[in-house]
Amino acid sequence: MNGIVRAPRAGMATGIGVVSAFALVAVVGIVNAVRDPKEPVLVEAVIALLFVAILVRLVTLAALRPGQRASLVVLTAGIVLFASASAFVQTREPQTLSQVELLFLGFYLCLAAFVLLDVRRTGSRSAAVWLEAVLLASATASGTSFALLAALGGEQASTSELLALLYPACDVVLATIVVAQMGLRNRPFGVRGLLLLLGLLCFAAADSAFSADLARGSYASTAVMSIGWAAGLSLMAVSAGMPRGEVRVDGSSETPASLLVVSAAVAVLVLASPWAAVHHWSVELPALIAVAAACARLLMSLRETRSLMAAYRDSLRDDLTGLPNRRGLIAALDGDAELRGIVLLDLEAFQDINDSFGHRHGDLVLRTVADRLRDRLSAGDVVARVGGDAFVVAFRPADDGALEASSEGMHLLLAEPVRVDGLEVVLHAATGAAARRPGEPGDELLRRAHVALYRAKQSGRTALLYDPGDDERSRDHLRQAEALRRAIAGGQIVAWYQPQVDAATWEIVGVEALARWDDPDHGVQPPGAFLPTARRAGLMPALTDAVLRQAVHDARGWTAEGRDWHVAVNIAPPELLGGTVVPAVLDLMQESPGLPLVVEVTEESFLADPARAREAVAELDSHGVEVSVDDYGTGFSSLAYLRDLDVAELKVDRTFVAAMEHDDRRARLIVSSTVQMAHALGLRVVAEGVETASVAADLVAEGVDVVQGYHVAPPMPRAVLEAWVRDWEASHPASEDLRQPRPR
C-alpha cells in the first residue's frame, strides 16, 4: 500500500521538476535568442538541468511502476543517447561528427521501442477499426510530410536535402504509430496520448529546422531548436509518467466521426493542392492510402446500415408466425392514428397442448390461429403475436360495440376444431378489449387491454372491455401486494390457533394454525383479505413459511410444557408440488424430531400431479409428519389416492357439517359413509365448521373423532389460547354435555 501511495506522489514531484526545468530553459532560450539566436551556449548550459530532471523522473517511475518499467527504461536509455550526442555536437568539429549520427539513430530506435511498449495489449480488432487506424495514420503522415516539404522548399530540395529529412521523417513515423495506436484502441484517446503526440511534433519541428540548416551546410543548432527539443523531451517524460488508462477490448469502433472526416479531408486537400512544390511520393502515397481507407470505411458503413435496418425490421416480426411482435404492434399503433381499438386474445390451457403433444405441434396450433386471424382482417387492420399464446388484433374506427363484436368473432374462429396429431382440439380464449383515446400511444392502449384481459380471467368471463376503474383496482392490488411483501419480511404475519377437541372426551388434542395479518394501520386482517393477493403476487411460499415457522416454534413450547397436541398447518397445492415448502418442513423436523406436526392439503394436490404428490407425502411421512386431506368431499374425490397415499386424517368439509343443522339427509349420509370408510382405512376423521351443540352431538353419533369450530372456540392468538386452555381444562367437561354451549 505504501508503494502505491508513494508512486503518484513521486511522479507528481518529478513531473513538477520537469515542468519547472523546462520553464527555465524556455526563459533562458528566449533571452538568448534575442541576444544571439546562433549562439545557444547559455541554453545548452541550462538544458543540462532539464536532462537531469527528466532522467530523475523516469528512473523514479521505473522503480515504482513494475508494469511500465520496460517502456520507461528504453525511454531513459534513448534520452541518455540524445544527451550524449548533443554533448558531442557542442564539443567537436562538424567534419568529425559522422559517428554522432549513430547516437541520434540509437535515440530514435529507443523512442520507437518506447512507443511500441507504452500501450496495453488488447484483443482482436474489427475491420472497421483497422480501416480507421489506416485512415488516421496515413492522413497524419501525408499532412506532416506536406508541411515538412513545404518548409524545405519542396521541388527545389536536392536529393541530399531530402536525405536531411531523416530525423523529421522518424518523428512523423512515430507520430503516425501513436495515432494508429489510438485508432486501434491500444492507446486511449486522452491527455496522455495527446501529450506524447505533441512531444513528437515538437521534435519534428525542431528536427525540420535542423535538417534545413544541415542541407545548407550548417551543423549548428539554434536556441529555438533547443527549446523545441527540450519541449518534446519534457512532454514525452510527463506523458510517460501518467497512468495508461483503460482501453476497449471488444473490437468495436469509437473513433470520433469528426476526426475521421477531418483526416479524409486532409488527404483530399493534399492531393488537390495546386502547389507543385509539395507533390512528392512521401506526401501523395499516404494521402492516396488515406482516401482509399476512407472509401472502404464508407462502403462498410453503408453495409452496416443496411444490416441494421434489416435487423430492425426482423426485430419487429415474430419468427414463428410472421406477424408483427409486440414491438412491431406498438410501432404500427404509433404510426397509424386510424387504428382506434384493439382486442387482446390469450389462449387458455395452451400449455396442455405443448405438454401433451410437444412444442412442434404447439407451434402448428399457433400458426393456425395466426392464419385464421389474418384471414379475418379487414383492409388496414393489424394482427400481431405479442406473447407465447397471446395475439392482438388492431382495428380501424372501432367503438365499444364493434370491439365486443370482434371479441365474439374471435371466439367463433377458435370454436372450429384444430387437428393436432390426429386429434381434434377446440381452443378457448379469454379476451380483453380497449378503445383508443385521442393521442394515446400504442403501449398505453395495449396496457389497458391487458388490464381488461386480467379482469376477465379473474372474474371467470371470456371477454371484457376496459373499465377505467380497473386501473385503480390494479394499483390497489399492487399496493396491497407490496404492503404484504413488507409485512411478511417485517414479521406482521402471525399464527392464530383454533382448538380441536376429542369428540368422545372433549379433551384438547390439537390446534390448527391459521394466518393473520397484524396490520399496524388496519388491525388484524383475516385470510380472505390477503390470501388472494398473496396468490396473485407469488407470495404464498413466503407466507406459508412464515406461518409454518411460527407454528413449529409454538409447538416446541407446548411440547416442552408436556402438552402433546398436534399442530396442523395448511399448505396450498402449488407449494406442496412446487418443491420448496416440503424441504422447509423436513428441515424444521430435523431440528425438532418427534414434533407432532400435521400438514393439511386439499384433494386438488393429489389430482393435479399424482406422482409428485405421492413423493411429497412419502417424504413427509418418512419424517414423522402426518398428512391430512382438507376440505374432503368438495373436489372430484377419488378413492385411489386414499389407497396409494399414506394420509393420516380426513377433514370433512364445513359445507356438509353445516347442512346437518338443517337435517340434510344427503349431507348426513356423506358424513356417515366418509367416517365408516376412513375408519376402515385406519384414518382419523375431523369435522370442521361445527357451530352448534346439536351438530356436535350428531357428529359424535356418526363416529367423528375430532371436532373443530366456533362451538368449541374461534381462532385466537397464542397468548389468548393459553388462557382459554386453562379455563377449558378447569371446567373438565363430560362427554354427555356436548349439547351445551361451550366457552367462546
pLDDT recorded at residue 549: 92
Query: Cα dihedral angle (254, 258, 263, 269), rounded to 10 degrees?
Result: 160
Nearest to 333 by CA among 393, 375, 283, 280: 393
Q: How far apart are CA 542 and CA 526, in angstroms?
A: 17
**Which residue carries 375408519 as its cell?**
679
Q: Which amino acid is at 564?
A: D
Nearest to 686 by CA among 570, 495, 678: 678
Q: How far apart are CA 45 and CA 33, in angstroms?
A: 14
Pairing of strands 684-687, 493-502: unpaired
**Residue 567 and residue 602 in contact, taking contact as beta carbons nearer than 8 Å:** no
List residues bridging with 424 in a β-sheet. 419
Distance, first Cα to last Cα, the chain = 73
List residues bridging with 433 in a β-sheet. 343, 465
pLDDT recorded at residue 705: 95
pLDDT recorded at residue 1: 36
Integer CA distances (angstroms), 548 to 38, 554, 560, 562, in order:
97, 10, 18, 21
List the grid coordinates of 474. Answer: 390494479
**Residue 114 and residue 237 in contact, taking contact as beta carbons nearer than 8 Å:** no
Q: How far apart are CA 522 and CA 122, in angstroms?
A: 62
pTM over 0.75: no
Mean pLDDT of successive 10-residue segments in the chain (744 residues)? 41 48 50 49 61 78 80 84 75 52 74 74 60 70 69 50 62 77 73 85 80 63 74 82 62 62 82 70 78 86 81 80 89 88 86 78 88 83 88 82 81 81 81 88 89 82 80 75 91 94 91 93 88 85 91 91 90 80 86 87 75 84 88 64 80 86 83 90 92 90 93 93 89 50 36
CA atoms in the 13 A half-sphere facing the CB of 335: 9
Nearest to 277 by CA among 409, 448, 162, 372: 162
